Structure 1
C-alpha cells in the first residue's frame, strides 16, 4: 500500500511538471476587476458585491461552533475535526477577504480574496481522503494540501501565472463529485456533496455571466453578487449533511445505489408487462360464467319458425 501511495505521488508530480512545461503561463487579466455592478450605497463602493459575502461569515461561525459544541456533527475521527475546522475557518475568512477585495478591486487585494477560498478547497480534499480512502493518509495530507494551496497563491502573485492556482481550484471541483459517486462513503447523506458541487458550478456560471445577468435583471443584481450567494450555499449544504448524517454500515457507493434502483425499476416494469399479459386470459375464464347474450331479431325469427314447424 505504501508503494502504491508513493507511486501515485510520483505520477502526480510528474504530470504537474509536464503540464507546467508544455502549457503557457496564464497571467491575471485586469479586466477581471471590472465588475458590472459598481454602485455605491451608504458610502460603500461596490456595496452589493461587498455585503453579499456576509453569509460566508455566518455559516463559517455556525460550523465552527457545531464542530466543538454538543457533538452535533458526530466527528468520530480526529482528522475529520481538524479538516472541518480548517474548512469553516476558510469559509468565515472568505467574508473578510472577499469584502476587502471588492472595496477596491486589484491584484494585491485579490490575494486575500483567494487565500481563504483555497484553504476551504484543500481542506475539503483532505476530508474526502479521510472519509473515502484512508483516515491516516487523509489526516497527514491536511498540512501538505494547505501548503500547496498557499504556494499556488504566492506563485501567482510573484510570477503572474494562474496555472497552479487553477489546478488547486478546479481539480477538487472534478475529483470530489466523481469520488462522491464512485467511492463507498463512511457516512449517510452523500448526495449533499452533489448538491454542494452543483451550487458551486452554478456560482461559476454566474461569475462568468456577470454583465449579462446585470442587464437581464435591469441593473438590480449582477452575476457576481449572485455568485457569492450561490457559493455560500456550498457550506450550507455541507453543514446540513454533517447535522443529518450517520455512520453508513452498508458502505455502498452512490453509483451502486443508483444502479440497484435502476435495476429495480426495470424489474418492476417487467412485472407490469407480465401482469398485463396474464390479465388477457381472464375474459376466457370468465366467458363460461357470463350470462347469455340478449337475443337478436334474427335469432327470434329463427326460433319462431322452428316453433311453427
Structure 2
C-alpha cells in the first residue's frame, strides 16, 4: 500500500489480456511532467544562489563573502540561516504535505491530487518570481514544497496503476527520468543571469506546473482509484478503455481483491515499525542519510 493506494500485481504470475493503447502512453508521458516540476523546483535553488544579483538582494552577507574572493570552503561562504531556510523550506513543506496528499489521493483520486499539486506550484512560482523580500521568497518555496509533496504522492501512483503490468516499470521510470531532466535544466547555463535573471529562472518553474494541471484535466482517473472509492461500474468502463479490450474480468477481479485487502490495513504507518518491515525501513532511511553525505564529500 502506498500513497493511499495499492499496487496491482497479476494473480499467481498470470498476464492479463491487454493492449498498449495510445491513451496509456500519452497519459503516462504527460503525467510524468510531475517529475519535471519536482526536479526543476529542487535544482533551481542551486541555480539562483549562484547568481550575484539574487544574493545581493536577499542574502547580502553571503554576497559579500563570495565577492571578497576569500579562500574559504563553499560551506563557510554560504553559512547563513536565511539561505539555509530558502533551500530547506521546500523539503520540509513537501514532507508535511505528503501526509495530506495521502488522504486526498485516497479519498478524491489521483487526478484531483495532481491538480492540487499544480495549483500550489503556480502560486509558489508567482510569489518567488515577484519576491520583494526574504519572507515572500520563503512563502513561495513553502508552496512549491506543498506542490512537490502532492505531486510525488499522486504521479508515481497514477503511472503504476494506469500502465499494463508488463511495461509498468518502463513507464513508471518516466517520473524519475523527468526529475533528472528538471534538475539538469534548472542548472543549465542557458538560464539568463543579470538583474532579472533570477526572476526569470524562478518563473520558468511555472511551465511544468501548468503542464501538470493540463494533464490532470485531460487524463482519465485510474481504475484502481475508482474501485477503491466504490465506483465499480465506472472503474470497469475505464479499465476497458485503457486496456483496449472487453475481456477485463480477470484484472477487474484482481482489482476488487486488492481493494478489499487494502481496506483491511487500518494503521499503515504503524505497520512500518513492525519487525518484519524493519530492514526495508532502515535501508530507506540509510539511503536518504547517505546521499547528502556523499554530495558533501565530493565538494571537499
When normalised by structure 2's length, the TM-score is 0.31
Higher normalized contact order (CA 8 Å, seq sep 6+, divided by chain length):
2
When normalised by structure 1's length, the TM-score is 0.30
Structure having the higher Rg:
1
